Amino acid sequence: MKLGTIIVSQILALCMVCVAQLHPLEPAQYQRLPSLRESARIQNAWKDERVGRIPALLKKYNMDAWLMSQREHAEDTIWWSIKNATDFGAHRRTVTLFHTNTSSLAGKPNPLLWVDNTGAVWPELLNTLKTYHPKRIVLNVDRHIAFAGGLSVGEMAVLNIQLGDRWMGCTVNEPMVAVEFVASRVDGQLEYYRKMQEIVWAMLEEGFSHQVIEPGKTTTEDLEWWFRERMQTQNVTTWNQPRVSVIVESSFPGWQGTQDVIEEGDLLHIDFGITAMGLNTDTQHMAYVLRTNGTAPETDAPKSLKAGLRKANRMQDILLANMRAGLTGNQVLRMSLDQMKTEGIEGQIFSHPIGDWGHDAGAVIGFTNLPEYVPVLGELPILPNTYYSIELYAYHFVPERNETLRFRVEENAYWVAATGSWQFVRGRQERFHLVDQRKRQRTTFTVQGVS
């Protein structure tokens, strides 16, 4: 072997060993979120701060106004991000007009709001447009981006009739107004997002343990419903059903879980998130069920499994380093895949924004079915001041099983303006959750949802 090849091999091996240590040092504790009343007050303050940015956002994209019209049960996607915390649906017909606080609307309420079921809104809106005279009015009519395409066909027909060619001729499709508005966070949210992440970790540490899992009896479906029940006790909900799988070579993507009886020696995986205070999380962790019998009872996960997790952690480092604001999702994806190839890592990246929605507005970085290039959503820019779900897997051959497994991880990260970089909200998984049946035999307890 040539000297240069040896040096490169040693450097790559060192990269794998020197993965940043970001696993939390202390066990997670269940956090108490504010009361519903206090949460509503906090959420409304966040909403006001975000809405207050819209005039500057319109100017950034050379727009004069942003018009939305919706009815109860047919809300525009954006409505869910501009509503009060105590609103659970639009009322009658709700029309909102955001503006740039200039000309005849300087100092006026922003947005201007009409709630009506008689048609009185239209003469008032027309009069406002005549005095304000906007040249470019954003409508949410994009064909490709859901956050910018929430105007219903019915409301579009009504607008064509009521506003006529004069004002409909001024309407434009500028999806980045909606995308950037929904994606951008406010500073005060991070405090509570950290609490939510710690709740997630506390659930993972409890659920992936002898306290809940009895090998040979507990099923992956039992565990899924345990997580749902545990959310109830923590006064949080979810945006998708938890999915628990026993990881084998063929168990991907496992959208429905694997519905297996959990046994010693199993490698477990979960994909779930919680919802609270208008925010969402999305997390994937892995656990190992220790073999407690035989000639060599285990006290830790096998080294071959740990090596697979380290590869996934290295992929996280690579991706976060490449996620520079202004680059497109596809550019970040290409750079990361190229670096993985250089380091001899095989895997797939499918990361996405998170916040108001589990799959939030903004640039996606890969899809499970589009591993190298994503049309439209992958061509959006990485925005600062947002949250991302760093979702990916590394391939790793496990000789004891004679299988190449996917080591699947997902953690939420936030933008740090001071450094222009990303940090995990609560570290990341670098050690397997361990299920030790021997501890169960020494413990007396009752767990709701698992008999």
68: CATH = 3.40.350
Q: Are residues 295 and 345 in the same domain?
A: yes
CB atoms within 10 A of CB 169: 10
82 near 47, Cβ under 8 Å? yes
Spatial contact of 409 and 313, defined as CB atoms under 8 Å apart: yes
Angle at the Cα of 72 (from 355 to 169), degrees rounded to 5?
A: 85
Cα–Cα distance measured from residue 193 to residue 423, given in angstroms and rounded to the nearest whole number: 13
Q: How many percent of the chain have pLDDT more than 90? A: 87
Least confident of 37-41, 53-57, 206-210, 257-261: 257-261
| pLDDT grade for 443, boundaries at 50, 70 and 90 | low
431 belongs to a structural domain: yes
Three-class DSSP category at 200: helix
Question: Are residues 268 and 400 located together in one domain of the fold?
Answer: yes
Residue 397 confidence (pLDDT): 97
Q: Are residues 380 and 433 in the same domain?
A: yes
Q: Residue range 286-300: average pLDDT?
A: 93
Average pLDDT, stretch 185-206? 98
Among candidate residues 182, 201, 229, the one where a domain is terminated: 182
User: Encoding tokens for residue 196?
Assistant: 């939510």
Report the pLDDT value the prediction gives residue 398, as an integer from 0 to 100.
Answer: 97
CB 55 within 8 A of CB 110: yes
Looking at 182, 213, 228, which one is the last position of a domain? 182
pLDDT of the residue at 450: 53
Nearest alpha-carbon partner for 100 in 142, 139, 52, 147: 52
Using CA atoms, how far apart are residues 367 and 370, in angstroms rounded to an integer? 5
If you average pLDDT over residues 156-176, what whole number do you get? 98
Give the CA distances from residue 207 to residues 36, 43, 210, 433, in Å, rounded to whole numbers and listed in that order: 26, 30, 8, 9
Same domain, yes or no: 90 and 159: yes
b/e sequence 262-301, b meaning 16+ C-beta within 10 Å: bebebbbbbbbbbbbbbbbbbbbbbbbbbbbeeeeebeeb
Instruction: Establish if 285 belongs to a structural domain.
Output: yes
Report whether pLDDT(253) > 90: no
Whether 80 and 196 map to the same domain: the answer is: no
Q: What is the mean pLDDT of the chain?
A: 93
24 or 338: whose pLDDT is higher?
338
DSSP 73-95: TB--TTHHHHS-TT--S--SEEE
**In angstroms, rounded to a whole number, what is the distance separating the alpha carbons of residues 105 and 99?**
8
Residues 132 and 255 in one domain: no
At 287 the pLDDT is 99
Does residue 18 belong to any structural domain of this protein?
no
pLDDT of residue 417: 95
**CA distances in angstroms from 16 to 269, 288, 313, listed in the order given:** 22, 21, 9
Q: How many Å apart are CA 212 and CA 202, to the nearest integer?
A: 13
Could you say which of 182, 210, 232 is where a domain stops? 182
pLDDT at residue 442, rounded to an integer: 63
Q: Identify the domain containing residue 262 by its residue range.
A: 185-440
Residues 418 and 373 reside in one and the same domain? yes
Task: Judge whether 251 lies within some domain.
Answer: yes
Same domain, 226 and 360: yes
Contact 317/323 with Cβ under 8 angstroms? no
CA 445 to chain centre: 34
Per the CB < 8 A criterion, the answer to whether 283 and 297 are in contact is no
**Max Cα–Cα distance, the chain, nearest Å:** 86
> What's residue 296's pLDDT?
87
Helix (H) or strand (E) holding 275: strand 275-276
Instruction: Specify the higher pLDDT residue, 237 or 249.
Output: 237
Residue 26 is assigned to a structural domain of this protein? no
Whether residue 390 contacts residue 413, with contact meaning beta carbons closer than 8 Å, is answered with yes
- The answer to whether 326 and 382 have CB atoms below 8 angstroms apart is yes
Contacting residues for 41 by C-beta, under 8 A, at least 6 apart: none
Same domain, 63 and 81: yes
Mean of the pLDDT values across residues 411-439?
A: 97
Give 67's contacts (C-beta < 8 A, 6+ positions apart).
95, 96, 97, 98, 137, 138, 139, 159, 171
**Per-residue pLDDT band at 449 (split at 50, 70, 90):** low
Residue 444: band (very low, low, confident or very high) from pLDDT cuts 50, 70, 90:
very low
pLDDT at 5 over 50: no
Q: Where are the alpha helices (DSSP H) in 72-174?
A: 79-82, 121-132, 153-168
Per-residue model confidence (pLDDT) at position 254: 57
Share of the chain above pLDDT 70, in %: 92
Looking at the domain assignment, is residue 19 inside a domain? no
> Does residue 296 lie within any of the structural domains?
yes
Answer whether residue 17 shows pLDDT above 50.
Answer: no
- Mean pLDDT (whole number) for 179-183: 99
In a shared domain, residues 197 and 145: no
Q: Which residues neighbour 102 within 8 Å (Cβ) at sequence distance 6 or greater?
A: none
Among the listed ranges 12-16, 66-70, 101-105, 113-117, which one has the minimum average pLDDT value? 12-16
pLDDT at 103: 84
* CATH number (domain holding residue 240): 3.90.230.10
According to the model, what pLDDT value does residue 294 have? 82
88: burial class by Cβ within 10 Å (0-12, 13-18, 19+)?
exposed
**Among the ranges given (22-31, 323-332, 335-344), the one the predictor scored with the smallest mean pLDDT:** 22-31
Q: Give the span between the Cα atoms of 267 and 433, in whole angstroms.
A: 10
Burial (CB count within 10 angstroms: exposed 0-12, middle 13-18, buried 19+), residue 5: exposed
pLDDT at 12: 47
> How many domains does the chain divide into?
2
Task: Judge if 243 and 148 occupy the same domain.
Answer: no
Are 167 and 91 within one domain?
yes
pLDDT for 93 beyond 70: yes
pLDDT at 82 over 80: yes
Residue 160 lies in a domain: yes
Q: For 199, which DSSP code?
A: H
